[in-house]
Structure 1
Amino acid sequence: MQPKTGLPTTGLEPVLLVDQRDGWTKLTLNRPERLNAFNEAMHQALAAALDEAGADEHCRAVLLTGTGRGFCTGQDLSDRLGGDGPHDLGATIEAFYNPLVRRMRALRKPVVCAVNGVAAGAGANIAFACDIVLAARSAKFIQSFVKVGLVPDSGGTFFLPRLVGPARARGLAMLAEPLPAETAEAWGLIWKTVEDATLQEEAERLTAHLATQPTQGLSLIKQALDAAQENSLDEQLDLERDFQRKAGRTPDYREGVSAFMEKRPPRFSGRDS
């Protein structure tokens, strides 16, 4: 299926390409001349597309990527020029970046990210907010905030220490040194590094696979792993019990057991009842 048009545009091009595939949706940030830096139009388009994917029962996975030579460099700083006084950056975060991260984490479907080039500032942290991140071998991750006197946002101060530990998190945030994709993989920031030429193909294959899996089970996995970052062991054991009860009542559990007993591939529906 061809990408949708009619979305907010920069010039003649939509700022977000929405490509609905068989059981999943590909969302492509499309401001390549600005290395896919966010402006208000792209925020609005991405929020609407994520909401649509979440509400679409036929969409069981989402792939997020970018056009051109960069995945995303965070906020388009040209939008911050001019005016009589200092801009309220907190208002921008409250209106756009925090809701975006919350949307992706709350989406009851897996979100795959294909980082096709530089991911800087909020662009890097938006990638880390996804469930599974693939990166081109040439990609780099940069916590560039300190270069303009800011602090990591879009969940950066939350995700970084949990993914790589406090020492590496402080180094990344305070030094703003580019982190190569292969190092990001070795440190546990991302799932896998792949060759540039095969990134999109592999990301699409992975997303298509997830779209055939037990969607309700994947949703519960997302929720359980997020809760584990704050829960005690006893709280997490109780949560696992409750979630397993829910998963065990889904059609996909019955189908999985039947397929195992009959020695055939399962045909998961993704339905919760």
Structure 2
Amino acid sequence: MSSHPQPSNGTVNFSVDGDVATVTLNRPETLNSMNDDFMNDISEAFAMVAADDDVRAVILTGAGRGFCSGADLRGAVADGAEDVDLQAPDDATTDSMDNVFHPAIRAVAECPVPTVARINGVTAGGGIGLALSCDIAIAARSAFFVATFGPRLGIVPDLGTTWQLPMRVGRARALGMTLLGERVTADQAAEWGLVWKTVDDAELDTAVAQVVDVLRRSSPAAMARIRSAVDGAMQRDLADQLDVEMGHQAVLIPRNMSHGAEAFLAKTDPSFPGERY
């Protein structure tokens, strides 16, 4: 495993093993809760991925017992004030979201290579948005999800959660999760389509490694274009989606199809070039 520079604030670890990067959320004492330093470190780690053309896939996981427990509420309590104007927007909140939290989510969602969320424990609040920003999510059976925003905190789900949940599980389940704040088990999450699969805790690393092995041997350009086509499909009609697919194929077929077909006919695994999008 090669040595790399680390994100500035020490709340996220970054490592590369061959062509696979691992980003480890590293505030285990708070179940990897989110603050500005933490989110800036996520942005830095994914910028390192973007700058390293040798990386072909990324694993995002949490240190300790949790994946990510959402916002660090200790800061919210410390920043509270009796004389706050309840009708005025909180500039500090919007600045932090716009300049720190949202760039981190976009860095994960727009990563130039496939991303796998290794969900090793509690995933709550904004941690749901972070986990679902990855392309593939695999959960340990002991993990669970809880959308604490509305019933516990009196706020709207954020960090992309209101987009991710209905896209994945439908309106009824998305509203049930966010209005009621009930715990969703890993098995439920897999049944609903919230994650790709759930495995026994002891099998989590093996399951992640198997998925990553497929992704790292795939064409980064194809993976990014598949994500883009799927994410935009709900905003287009069929005719427009056909045009989108055709545009991607015009680039990818000359680049990849001959090699892929040759490997398929020879019953071997393809090894695509590493050019990104």
TM-score by length of 1: 0.92
Contact 1:3 1:17 in 2 (8 A): no
**1:147-162 correspondence runs (5 A):** 147-162=152-167
Structure 1 residue 3: Cα displacement: 6.3
1:268 aligns with 2:264: no
Structure 1 residue 246: Cα displacement: 1.0
What amino acid sits opposite 2:119 in the alignment?
Answer: V
What amino acid sits opposite 1:90 in the alignment?
Answer: T
Contact 1:224 1:240 in 2 (8 A): yes
1:271–1:253 distance in 2 versus 1, CA, 3 Å:
farther
Structure 1 residue 209: Cα displacement: 2.7
User: Which residue of structure 1 aligns with residue 63 of structure 2?
Assistant: 67
Structure 2, gaps ≥5 residues long: 85-89
CA distance in 2, matches of 1:255, 1:247: 11
What amino acid sits opposite 1:49 in the alignment?
Answer: A
CA distance in 2, matches of 1:127, 1:149: 22
Matched pairs, number: 268
**1:174-193 correspondence runs (5 A):** 174-193=179-198
1:197–1:254 distance in 2 versus 1, CA, 3 Å:
same
* Correspondent of 1:237 among 236, 242, 246: 242
Structure 1 residue 125: Cα displacement: 1.5
* Correspondent of 1:212 among 211, 217, 221: 217
**1:43-62 correspondence runs (5 A):** 43-62=39-58
User: Which residue of structure 1 aligns with residue 122 of structure 2?
Assistant: 118
What amino acid sits opposite 1:248 in the alignment?
Answer: I
Structure 1 residue 144: Cα displacement: 0.6
CA distance in 1, matches of 2:263, 2:183: 46
Contact 1:8 1:42 in 2 (8 A): no
Structure 1 residue 2: Cα displacement: 5.9
What amino acid sits opposite 2:263 in the alignment?
Answer: A
Q: Aligned to 1:62, what secondary structure does the other structure show?
A: strand
What amino acid sits opposite 2:272 in the alignment?
Answer: F
User: Which residue of structure 1 aligns with residue 12 of structure 2?
Assistant: 16
Contact 1:23 1:208 in 2 (8 A): no
CA distance in 2, matches of 1:191, 1:106: 19
User: Which residue of structure 1 aligns with residue 145 of structure 2?
Assistant: 141
1:227 aligns with 2:232: yes
Contact 2:36 2:96 in 1 (8 A): no
1:131 aligns with 2:135: yes
Contact 2:69 2:127 in 1 (8 A): yes
* Correspondent of 1:38 among 34, 50, 62: 34
**1:195-210 correspondence runs (5 A):** 195-210=200-215
Structure 1 residue 97: Cα displacement: 2.3
What amino acid sits opposite 2:58 in the alignment?
Answer: V
1:263–1:116 distance in 2 versus 1, CA, 3 Å:
closer
Structure 1 residue 91: Cα displacement: 2.5
Contact 1:63 1:204 in 2 (8 A): no
Identity %: 35
Q: Aligned to 1:268, what secondary structure does the other structure show?
A: coil
TM-score by length of 2: 0.90
Structure 1 residue 121: Cα displacement: 0.3
Structure 1, gaps ≥5 residues long: none
Kindly provide the CA deviation profile for residues 143-185 of structure 1, in whole angstroms up to 9, marking residues without a partner as x.
1111111110011111111211111111111000010000010
CA distance in 1, matches of 2:26, 2:3: 12
CA distance in 2, matches of 1:102, 1:7: 17
Contact 1:112 1:130 in 2 (8 A): yes
1:78 aligns with 2:74: yes
Contact 1:4 1:17 in 2 (8 A): no
